[in-house]
Chains A and B, each alone.
Chain A
């Protein structure tokens, strides 16, 4: 949902820019080295995760910390089908996405009755429970993990992640303009008011949660096949959720392109800082996140939209005025 009036020209400009970027991304592997293809595959993955988190965390305003649960479900479903049943990757992957939806509907119909912090804590618990379950089952290989078949080319994963990213960003464009998106926005703004306007909240919250979960699940499936080894701590890994949240919040939660911009900026910065100094990179990165939370609590998008631009927004913040 556009949080306020926006000129139409700006939307058209953003779409043209996105189309040009997509064309460049499609052509990129023909000219780039393996290192950069791998780097971009990672950026696409986190762009998709941040955009997926934005559907429940940004548009619906539900602070989900359980995205990694669906990464794990997608990864293990894909892995088990490929290893135990010899299903090809392209067929195993959608099964992972489907199971993520089923899990989101089942968990969401319970957890989405909770509000705010309680929901956040419950979803965090969900990840930990599933990690323990995966560690103690035979079919998952338990704590020793699981080796997936090695693919002949890694460029394929670049395109799989790019496709996933395009779908996740498209969902973020389409949703707020739809009838369901209006319900989700109204629930985010004021659940009691939404109810007296004819909206039964729970089903719409479940839709937002399942839409978020399917992208986390698909990302997990592609990730498993790309890295060829999974074990419970690497896929049921809260770090996936935290990074997705930081990127979405950094870029602008509740906007279609903000989470992607957040992923590109933070992942690139992370890579540059790691190359400069492995020791200092965590410190720089942490300081940056703190500064951003202070100066742009609602994301980069807010700074760009502020009257007078970024510089004015920072001056206003230093003087103690809210924008």
Chain B
């Protein structure tokens, strides 16, 4: 049984078909890349999995359990964590308090506030934010905010993490550090769905890559195979040839 299974997932916004009958599955501990041009439906897919947007048609199952009708908080407590494309820190709380929040509210929560704060220190150590534990989250730089998003997601003790562009705005060196961190997270048994524009990172990390284009799934396979797929190349580089003209090489 896959960890996450989506069948015929469809999302329509008034007239726009954002997701068109998509089937997805993610296995235990797998790293799956999710790529596609802007507007392909990547963030919408994450929003529908986490219950932020209701599906128009289709269904999701997480560990065999239907997610239909569950609120975002309930889905998070099942062990399905997400990070946002734009970091969403709890700005006026300290970094340590930020990470203590999910510890207190996951299924099987920390024993109390003091225990959650101690646990937060350990998580911050793991993502390299320990020296900034006492700062208010609003004082963090962009790379540190990314680390905080990851630390909050980890504190939910998830089985699956949906990472929406965790590497946006990072320098190449920071991307390398982030990739190493995600590999460590994965080694701990957490499956990852990585949405990323930094192709080097997705291709380097993922066991499997899913490509979305105009709300459709156009490819799903190992990174090496997906990059050679003619549909994927066309989606990324465009089809300059109008009907009737000679195809360009």
Contacts and interface: CB of A to CB of B under 8 A. Distances in A.
A192 B86 CA distance: 12
A127 interface: no
Contact-residue bracket for chain B: 20 to 34
Interface in A154-197: 177-179, 182-183, 185-186, 189-190, 192-197
Contacts, number: 86
A9 interface: no
A195 B76 contact: yes
A4 B94 contact: yes
A216 B193 CA distance: 49
A179 to B, nearest CB: 5
Interface in A190-230: 190, 192-201
B32 to A, nearest CB: 19
A197 B52 CA distance: 13
A4 B72 contact: no
B106 A5 contact: no
A199 B100 CA distance: 12
Contact of B84 (A193, A194, A198, A200): A193
A3 interface: yes
Interface in B100-119: 100-102, 104-107, 112-113, 116
A34 B25 CA distance: 77
A185 B102 contact: no
B76 A189 contact: no
B92 A3 contact: yes
Contacts of B76: 195-198
Best-buried of A5, A190, A198 by chain B (most CB within 10 Å) = A198
A196 B72 contact: yes
A198 B73 contact: yes
A61 to B, nearest CB: 10
Interface string B74-106: 101100011010001111111001001110111
B101 A186 contact: yes
A189 B106 contact: no
Given A198-B102, A200-B73, A182 B97 contact: yes
Contacts of B150: none
Closest 5 CB pairs of A and B: A198-B105, A193-B88, A189-B90, A195-B72, A200-B73
Given A1-B93, A5-B136, A200-B73, 4 more contacts: A194-B101, A195-B76, A196-B81, A198-B73
